[in-house]
Amino acid sequence: MATPLTADRLLRALRDEGLHVIEHRSWRTNNRNHKGPWGPTHGVMIHHTVTSGSSSSVELCYNGHSALPGPLCHGVIDKAGTVHLVSAGRANHAGSGDGDVLRAVKDERASLPADNEADTDGNRYFYGFEAVNLGDGKDPWPEAQLLAIERAAAAVCRAHGWSQRSVIGHLEWQPGKVDPRGFTMNSMRTRIGARLDRDPDGVAEPEKPKPSPPSKPTKPPAYEPFPGSSFFAVGRRSPIVTAMGKRLVAEGCGRYTMGPGPAWSTADRNSYAAWQRKLGYTGTAADGIPGKASWDRLKVPNV
């Protein structure tokens, strides 16, 4: 669960992820907020436009049509990989979908239930990106466009601290929908997950040089293996979080007013960001979400 990004934060997140972004007309105030709440946000939804041509597709998504007023998404991704922003608020893109799917996205479950109901307002909870494609299974998906979908979804997930499991396709949300057609959402989530394990420029956390072997064989201490970046999400409770916090305090990176405790919190994220900065990371590479290289260097004892 998260407060929706402001227009400025959404724009910055997309550009920080390396995307070419065009601000279309009055996109910052183009929304459907008068028709219902916008937020809390839980995920990102991918669509195809069933149109061709960048300019006409962007105008359609900005204005909507007689049967469905615009905006019809937050960003339109053309075949060249440019993101055209058309809204920063509630948009008519998700419609009614399956509440069980929403709960799975909120919990970032590894698999989604079947979308067999339309009982929940998705326009409130999801960011939407429309990719320009006829959706006939024949219209090609250029790699530049697929990369932009990957980057756009990762940008929003990174801004909210979500994993790739917070990204779904329209066909996984609303019964009867087929979009996006031409690639699988599982393959796209795999791409997004790999990107989230790197910084926005595509650079992985540097590996620590391997230490010289000890002069005498010793039994290595038992440390917690890296549980994955998606483990560190709002609502997570685990003794691993407590053990991590104690190590951060021992390294002089604790930013706790009380604790640390088992519930992943803003204080944990701020403390881990201090640890990342201590290791030399900067900018979004020091965002407080553990990566494997920095985690291995922290040496959190087994719990």
* 105 domain residue, yes or no: yes
Residue 97 has pLDDT above 70, yes or no: yes
Written as six digits, the tokens of 249 are 């305090």
pLDDT band at 155 (very low <50, low <70, confident <90, very high): very high
* 161 and 13 in a common domain: yes
CATH number for position 136: 3.40.80.10
Domain that holds residue 20: 7-196
Residue 1 has pLDDT above 80, yes or no: no
Rounded to two decimals, what is the model's pTM? Answer: 0.68
* 146 and 96 in a common domain: yes
Q: What is the pLDDT of residues 267-300, one digit of tens each?
A: 999 999 999 999 999 988 899 999 999 999 999 9
pLDDT band at 102 (very low <50, low <70, confident <90, very high): very high
* 290 and 143 in a common domain: no
The per-residue pLDDT for 259 is 80
pLDDT band at 204 (very low <50, low <70, confident <90, very high): low
- Please give the tally of structural domains in the chain: 2
Work out the mean pLDDT of the chain and round it to a whole number.
Answer: 92
* 168 and 273 in a common domain: no
* 110 domain residue, yes or no: yes
Residue 201 has pLDDT above 90, yes or no: no
Partners of residue 46 on adjacent β-strands: 129, 169
Q: What is the pLDDT of residues 207-261, one digit of tens each?
A: 545 565 655 555 566 899 999 999 998 889 999 999 999 999 999 999 988 889 9
With pLDDT > 90 as the criterion, what percentage of the chain qualifies?
A: 85
pLDDT band at 68 (very low <50, low <70, confident <90, very high): very high
* 42 and 111 in a common domain: yes
C-alpha–C-alpha distance, residues 242 and 230, integer Å: 17
C-alpha–C-alpha distance, residues 153 and 133, integer Å: 18
Question: Please, are residues 185 and 165 in contact by the beta-carbon 8 Å criterion?
Answer: no
**Which one, of 230, 215, 242, 233, lies nearest residue 301 by Cα?**
242
With pLDDT > 70 as the criterion, what percentage of the chain qualifies?
A: 92
Q: What is the pLDDT of residues 13-55, one digit of tens each?
A: 999 999 999 999 999 999 999 999 999 999 999 999 999 999 9
